[in-house]
Amino acid sequence: MKDPAIFHTNLLGEDPTPEQRRLYAAFPEQRGFSGEGQDPDRFLATFIAALLNTWDGEAKACQHKVALAIPRAIEPWCVDQINLFLERMKVRQKKLPKATIKYFLQAMRCVETGTRVFTVTEAPKRWFAFGFSVDSVAPEWLKKGLLV
Strand 66-69 and strand 111-114: pairing? parallel
**Residue 102 has what pLDDT?**
84
**Residue 111 has what pLDDT?**
95
Q: What pLDDT digit, counting tens, does each position of 113-127 carry?
A: 999 888 888 899 999
Q: What is the mean pLDDT of residues 107-117?
A: 91
Of 68 and 120, more confident: 68
* Summary mean pLDDT of the chain: 91
**Residue 117 has what pLDDT?**
86
Q: Could you give the angle at which helices 4-12 and 75-92 cross, rounded to 10 degrees?
A: 60
73-77, 88-92, 96-100, 106-110: which range is least confident on average?
96-100
Q: What is the mean pLDDT of residues 128-146?
A: 95
Q: What is the mean pLDDT of residues 84-88?
A: 94
pTM: 0.92
**Residue 59 has what pLDDT?**
61
Q: What pLDDT digit, counting tens, does each position of 28-57 carry?
A: 999 999 999 899 999 999 999 999 999 876
